[in-house]
Chains A and B, each alone.
Chain A
Amino acid sequence: MIFSAIRVISARNIVHSAFYLAVTLLCVAIFFILLRVQYLAAVQILVYIGAIVVLILFAIMLTRTAIGQNTNISSRQAVFAAIVSLILFAVLSIVFNITRISSDIVDVSEIKIIPVSDFSNILFSKYALPFEVASVLLLAALVGSVVLAVKDRQKAGESLEEKSGDKKNN
């Protein structure tokens, strides 16, 4: 997975980079399975890979002047970036070392599998509010993206009015 992650960022061709991203996400899903959260793994594959990566691919296609061109040259500040990330990694490792995780309590094999029905029960009872908020958020994101991405605002507005006008006239 690490390999594929590295390839995400270092691939010359951006489409390749997107595919590597898909691979990485798949690995993450496998991790989830390892950790006995199968449901989440399924969700991950569906949503992440199915929707997001596809979206990214669309975006790549829409923003390229010509397919096949290599446009991902690493920035001039690569060095700095490298330094920063390495430092962060060092920090993180220190943190992990220091924090005493009171043993690895559980052996993987003993992780109980939580049935999906429990999952959904809790989702709609205890976490109902976050659920609703999330749906509102999605709605906002949807509307926002449409507004941002529409080609010609005026034309869109006019066409909307036309349509509504037509309906009225009709």
Chain B
Amino acid sequence: MTQLIWIIPLLPVIGFVITLLLGGKNGRFISRFATVVMGVCMLLSFYAVYLVFTRGELSIEKVWYVTGNFKITMGLLADGLSAMMLLVVTVVSFLVHLYSIGYMQGDSRYWLFFVELQLFSASMLGLVLAHNYLQMFICWELVGLCSYLLIGFWYEKKTASDAAKKAFLVTGVGDVAMLIGLLILFTVTGTLTYTSVFGIAEAGGISHNVITAITVLLFCGAIGKSAQFPLHVWLPDAMEGPTPVSALIHAATMVAAGVYLVGRSFPLFSHSEQTLMVVAIIGIVTAVLAASIAIVQTDIKRVLAYSTISQLGYMIFALGIGAFVAGMFHLMTHAFFKALLFLGSGSVIHAAHTQDIREMGGLASKMKTTTWTFIVGALSLSGFPLLAGFWSKDEILGFAFSTGRYVIFAVGAFTAFLTAFYMFRLIFVVFFGKMSKASEHAHESPKVMTIPLIILAVLAIIAGYWGAPFLAEKYHIGEFISGHTHVEHVEFDFIPMIISVIVGLLGILLAYLMYGRKVIPTDWFYRFVKSYYKVLVNKYYIDELGSRAIVRPAIRFANGVNTFDKRIIDGLVNLFGKVTVSVSKAVHLFDLGVVDGIVNWTGKETFNSGERLRLLQTGNISGYAIVMFAVLAVYIIYLIIRTMF
């Protein structure tokens, strides 16, 4: 198996090629086929995890390209961390494939969806299994490409194509910084393989400032991909894509790639306190910012999008404060319940034919499975005791508290409160309350869609136990994924746990009061924070800021360059053309005047000289005779002269 680990990423590649070649008419077959491929992949990754668990990491390495001293090796690495990611990616991908069979039914480009899903899965697996930064970067970009393709899947809608472009460009900003960081890293260490780099860093081979620079730049890539402040603006707009896409890419996997990057590079990051501080600050700011926007959103998917941003912020700041295990653990649990929530919302949208929660209501009676799985997801997210989210989120906050970062802890707790609030606001508005017109016609989704929901719900509950503090050390996820990295272990503390539980329950309560029972009128809140509400609704005007500061100047610059191109460069070309034309005219004149002139002159001269010569014919015989004798005389003189000399 060690040598065959490359089969895992290869399977979706084969799937991609086959589905691409099969084309448009075989939609039914393609969708089932793709799902089966992912299923097999998933089973293989279970096996891989088992192997890693029992035997330690698996890795293969091959030299790819050599010139002199410069050597690029390609390879796959499956240690604890990537094995865990493998698990997450394949499970969620498989379930999304299954769900999409039902959800995308009837779409004109049904088959293409699965082709692109396969491509994405292949890229994502390549990313997590890469054993060096170069491979990871290649897959990083590929994943970005798939995101673009899938967000803009319904490209006839202008909002969708715009959103795809926005996603690509915004993440691209981060990617550029990341690339620079990689280049610096390569220049300094001469290698990009994880193990080599970490070894050099450990041995002190890279100066402190350089490490800080490299890690900050790498983190920029993570900011882009994982939608942290300030590059988070693309994720809400990415909701234009089909819901399975949002579930797979923008909740569970691609956005987690940034977190994975930081986690993978943790040995590097831990050498620079400045970077870690930046990471933590950005993480916590993002978390609270996004949560605050989420509470006033009216589009079901956007609520979830901001929630994702917020939770990613949690993961990031966890890594920033050194809670490596907690952060990665939260990544896994979040993947499950966020995917669940998205697929559930997809189910709702499918039934109610709208995304606006104000048009929904009372769906609980119509869609039982969806409702209950959704509630399970929401509870897990809110950190309800004994569900997965509880263990992971709690561990983060606990770490913060125990390491004395009380400010971060407080903000994190407040964010947890907001999280619970907006999730249950969503639930009460959508599933409970008065039946809206749209909900009248709603019906439960087909089994192929509800089964993934159920599976995910189960996972949302049980996945947490892998990281439960009472679990024996050798089975604990912490031990599994730590591997080479040195992580802090903190004592389990009850206080943060209790605080986070209370905060969560408070959030649920407030939502219930405001939206469930309508005891507290919603206006009260709005009057209370009227102006602030406006800001929240407009997402802190970040988009507008971006538009003014960046987009418009960029467009003006592009226009300026265009004009320059048109006027000057085209002008030059046209001028050149005109010059050529006038030169050719001149040449023509020359040809006409001079050359023809010469030809005509020769003709005329011949004629004229003939005229003149004609005069020689005087008819005067004695004249002729004189000429004859004169010539004779000259000839004789010539002969004399010749014989004389």
A touching B, CB within 8 angstroms: yes
| A contact residues vs B (CB 8 Å cutoff) | 75, 77, 80-81, 84-85, 87-88, 91, 94-95, 98
CB atoms of B623 and A77 under 8 A apart: yes
CB atoms of A91 and B637 under 8 A apart: yes
Which residues of chain B come closer than 8 Å to A80, judged between CB atoms?
626
The answer to whether B629 has its CB under 8 Å from any CB of chain A is yes
Residue of B632, B633, B636, B643 contacting most chain A CB atoms (<10 Å):
B633
Pick from B629, B640, B643: contact of A88, CB below 8 A: B629
Which residues of chain B come closer than 8 Å to A94, judged between CB atoms?
640
Q: Chain B residue with minimal CB distance to A89?
A: B633
Can you report 26 residue pairs joining A to B where beta carbons are below 8 Å apart?
A77-B622, A77-B623, A77-B626, A80-B626, A81-B622, A81-B626, A84-B626, A84-B629, A84-B630, A84-B633, A85-B629, A87-B630, A87-B633, A88-B629, A88-B632, A88-B633, A88-B636, A91-B633, A91-B636, A91-B637, A91-B640, A94-B640, A95-B636, A95-B640, A98-B640, A98-B643
Cα distance A26–B637 when bound, in Å? 33
Q: Chain A residue with minimal CB distance to B621?
A: A75
Q: A-B pairs with the 6 shortest C-beta distances?
A: A87-B633, A91-B636, A84-B629, A88-B633, A80-B626, A84-B630
B618: min CB distance to chain A, Å = 11
A62: min CB distance to chain B, Å = 21
The A-contacting residues of B in range 624-641, CB under 8 angstroms, are 626, 629-630, 632-633, 636-637, 640
B40: min CB distance to chain A, Å = 126
A78: min CB distance to chain B, Å = 10
Cα distance A165–B617 when bound, in Å? 48
Cα distance A84–B528 when bound, in Å? 140
B150: min CB distance to chain A, Å = 114
Cα distance A85–B629 when bound, in Å? 8
Which residues of chain A come closer than 8 Å to B637, judged between CB atoms?
91
Q: A91-B636, A91-B637, A94-B640 are in contact. Are A75 and B629 (CB under 8 A)?
A: no
Q: Chain A residue with minimal CB distance to B632?
A: A88
| B contact residues vs A (CB 8 Å cutoff) | 622-623, 626, 629-630, 632-633, 636-637, 640, 643-644
Pick from B622, B630, B644: contact of A75, CB below 8 A: B622
Cα distance A10–B633 when bound, in Å? 23
Which residues of chain A come closer than 8 Å to B633, judged between CB atoms?
84, 87-88, 91
Cα distance A1–B82 when bound, in Å? 146
Cα distance A55–B395 when bound, in Å? 161
Cα distance A84–B628 when bound, in Å? 10
B630: min CB distance to chain A, Å = 5
A68: min CB distance to chain B, Å = 25
Which residues of chain B come closer than 8 Å to A88, judged between CB atoms?
629, 632-633, 636
Q: Chain B residue with minimal CB distance to A85?
A: B629
Known contacts A77-B626, A88-B629; 16 additional CB pairs below 8 A are A75-B622, A77-B622, A77-B623, A81-B622, A84-B626, A84-B629, A84-B633, A85-B629, A87-B633, A88-B633, A91-B636, A94-B640, A95-B636, A98-B640, A98-B643, A98-B644
Cα distance A81–B632 when bound, in Å? 13
Cα distance A87–B643 when bound, in Å? 19
Cα distance A77–B626 when bound, in Å? 9
Cα distance A91–B633 when bound, in Å? 8
Residue of A84, A94, A95 contacting most chain B CB atoms (<10 Å):
A84
Cα distance A91–B630 when bound, in Å? 12
Which residues of chain A come closer than 8 Å to B623, judged between CB atoms?
77
Which residues of chain B come closer than 8 Å to A75, judged between CB atoms?
622
B627: min CB distance to chain A, Å = 9
Which residues of chain B come closer than 8 Å to A98, judged between CB atoms?
640, 643-644
Cα distance A98–B630 when bound, in Å? 22
Which residues of chain A come closer than 8 Å to B640, judged between CB atoms?
91, 94-95, 98
Which residues of chain B come closer than 8 Å to A91, judged between CB atoms?
633, 636-637, 640
Cα distance A80–B629 when bound, in Å? 11
Cα distance A126–B629 when bound, in Å? 35
Cα distance A76–B623 when bound, in Å? 10
Which residues of chain A come closer than 8 Å to B632, judged between CB atoms?
88
Cα distance A75–B625 when bound, in Å? 13
Cα distance A80–B626 when bound, in Å? 7
Cα distance A10–B640 when bound, in Å? 32
Which residues of chain B come closer than 8 Å to A85, judged between CB atoms?
629
Cα distance A81–B624 when bound, in Å? 11
Cα distance A81–B636 when bound, in Å? 17
Cα distance A81–B622 when bound, in Å? 9
Which residues of chain A come closer than 8 Å to B644, judged between CB atoms?
98
Which residues of chain A come closer than 8 Å to B626, judged between CB atoms?
77, 80-81, 84
Cα distance A116–B599 when bound, in Å? 72
Q: Chain B residue with minimal CB distance to A86?
A: B633
Q: Chain B residue with minimal CB distance to A80?
A: B626
Q: Chain A residue with minimal CB distance to B636?
A: A91
B636: min CB distance to chain A, Å = 5
